[in-house]
Amino acid sequence: MLSYILPFIILILVVVFIHEYGHYYFAKRYGVGVTDFSIGFGKEIIGWNDKSGTRWKICWIPLGGYVKFFGDRNVFSQADQEKIVQKYNEVDREKLFVLKPLYQRVLIVFGGPLANFLLALAIFFSIYTFVGKDFTPAVINEVQKDSPAMVGGLKQNDIILEIDGNKVESIMDVSKFITLSTDDIIDFKVKRSYDELILKIKPDTVLGEDNLGNQVNKRIVGIKLGAYNNQINHIKLGPAQAIYHAANEVFYVSISSLKYIGAMIFGKADTSQLGGPIRIAKISGQVAEFGVLAFISMMAYISISLGLINLFPIPMLDGGHLMFYAFEKVLGRPLSQKTQEGFFRIGLFLLLSLMFFTTFNDLKDLGLFR
């Protein structure tokens, strides 16, 4: 159990710290006072004050964090500005978040998710630069009898060029693109002799195991792959290529995640794969056993997920505050405090529902529910 908990705590500490530091960086840049920078919730374990008066602390419940701004009862959104202004002198007013121009408040809020995307970008860039990226073409060595691949027309020795319009740069891309596809039909673009063909394959969904041994519903087409001419092409990239491929990976994962979430909402994707802290902790421990490289790669994907989720237009999340600012821009004034509180209640209900659902999936994954 300790082998799961320790990697999980390290992962959460890093991605949450980076997220909150994104808020902190822009807040300090625009002169907003920061009273607390907390990793975790609940009772403080350890903490210290810096020269500017910010309390940096780590708390007992490592499931998030927060940056608290000077004078703000609600961290990001306030409508009753006049009441707040009356409480502070002219010097202190300069440190108030609510009195900053709209674009500065937007950047401060957006800074958290932005930092998560930049962390993922930095991780992928470092891997591609110092470890390398695989560019081994994917060749079909075998097509299983009566499989979706055979029915759809895939043949032995076909070289897979694209899946659903996504360029296949290595063997590892094939399973990734198939797994993240949410369409009933997957388009395969293959090279056969001197011809390029587009074939439509309808995958089967079967209960199987992932690379870590966890039970998952897998989409399969029934092919076995090999390296083109049996040669592995794994190369270290220069800075320009590394940043390009790193940005492309962050973009692809973000778009695919949004498509998958949309498909789950409309009942077209498997919701049993949606997990919470327990599943993340379990997978963190399993991945850590494969080494540092696998673990920091997972950290990049979790960081992207955290950035994306926080941009959802749900009150209590960064995206909810950005939604309020969009209203403020259109209306020319902030929403009333009463209206904001109504939105916050809705947001709390949605978040609690999501937590309940993911926790149920986690417990089912552990075998406590059938």
Q: What angle do CA 315, 93, 53 make, to 5 degrees?
A: 85
**DSSP calls for 125-167:** HHIIIII-EE---EEEEEE-TTSHHHHHT--TTPEEEEETTEE
Q: What is the DSSP letter of 79?
A: S
- Locus of tokens 């499989």: 147
In terms of DSSP bridges, do strands 159-163 and 166-167 run parallel, antiparallel, or are they unpaired?
antiparallel
Alpha-carbon span 301 to 308, nearest angstrom: 11
- Residue 164: CB atoms within 10 A of its CB come to 16
- Within the chain, where are the H helices? 2-29, 81-86, 90-93, 102-126, 148-152, 171-180, 239-265, 277-288, 292-310, 318-331, 337-365
Q: Is residue 20 flagged as an active site residue? A: yes
- Locus of tokens 């090999």: 226
**Phi then psi dihedrals of residue 89, to 5 deg:** -80, 180
Burial class (CB in 10 A: 0-12, 13-18, 19+), 135: middle
Alpha-carbon span 219 to 104, nearest angstrom: 45
Alpha-carbon span 277 to 361, nearest angstrom: 11
Catalytic residue (one of 20, 82, 162, 328): 20
Return the bridge partners of 69, or none: 34
Question: Which tokens go with 252?
Answer: 């692809």
- Length, in residues, of the chain: 370
Alpha-carbon span 141 to 309, nearest angstrom: 39
Active site residues: 20
